[in-house]
Copies of this chain bind each other. A is one copy, B any other.
Amino acid sequence: MASEHTAKAFDTDLQELTRLVAEMGGLAERMIVDSVDALIRRDVALGQRVVATDAEIDALQKKIEERAVLTIARRQPMAVDLREIVGAMRVATDLERIGDLAKNMGKRVAALETDFHPLKLFRGLEHMTDLVQQQVKSVLDAYAAHDLPAAMMVWKGDEEVDAICTSLFRELLTYMMEDPRNISFCIHLMFCAKNIERIGDHATNIAETVFYMIEGQAIADKRPKGDMTTFATTLPNT
Contacts and interface: CB of A to CB of B under 8 A. Distances in A.
A133 B195 CA distance: 24
A155 interface: no
Interface string A98-129: 00000010011011111000000000000000
Interface string A70-106: 0011101110001001100000010000000000100
Interface in A193-238: 194, 218, 227-228, 231-232, 234-238
Contact of A180 (B77, B78, B177): B177
Nearest to A194: B191
Interface residues of A, number: 44
Chain A, interface SS category: helix
Given A69-B85, A176-B183, 13 more contacts: A72-B72, A73-B76, A73-B77, A74-B76, A104-B227, A110-B232, A114-B237, A176-B180, A177-B180, A183-B183, A184-B234, A184-B237, A187-B190
Interface of A: 62, 65, 69, 72-74, 76-78, 82, 85-86, 93, 104, 107-108, 110-114, 173, 176-177, 180-181, 183-185, 187-188, 190-191, 194, 218, 227-228, 231-232, 234-238
